[in-house]
Amino acid sequence: MKQLPETGFLKLPQIIGDPKANPPILPIIPVKKSCFWAGVKTGRFPKPVKIGNGRGTFWRVEDIRALIESV
């Protein structure tokens, strides 16, 4: 697992990866985008936080760490 900061926020490509980015972003949680959003809807994955007038969707690093530790 790559190093995560203690606190802060992550965008979805930082969580599920983006092989088309330059350089490619490796996934922390290797699932497809639709699977991740379905997991958010069912409560399997943490809910996002809206930042900047609700235009930016982010996840708290603490929530992602808790998800990883629970698996």
Q: Is residue 1 part of a domain?
A: no
Q: Is residue 54 part of a domain?
A: yes
The pLDDT score that the predictor gives to residue 2 is 55
Please state, in angstroms and rounded to a whole number, the distance separating the CA atoms of residues 55 and 39: 21
Strand partners, 9: 60
- Ranges of residues in the chain whose predicted pLDDT is under 70: 1-2
Joined tokens for residue 10: 């992550």
Q: Is residue 38 part of a domain?
A: yes
Q: What are phi and psi of 13, to 5 degrees?
A: -60, -25
What's the whole-model pTM score? 0.88
DSSP state, residue 3: -
The pLDDT score that the predictor gives to residue 23 is 94
The boundaries of the domain holding residue 31 are 9-70
Q: Is residue 4 part of a domain?
A: no
Please state, in angstroms and rounded to a whole number, the distance separating the CA atoms of residues 35 and 47: 14
Q: Is residue 29 part of a domain?
A: yes
Number of domains into which the chain is organized = 1
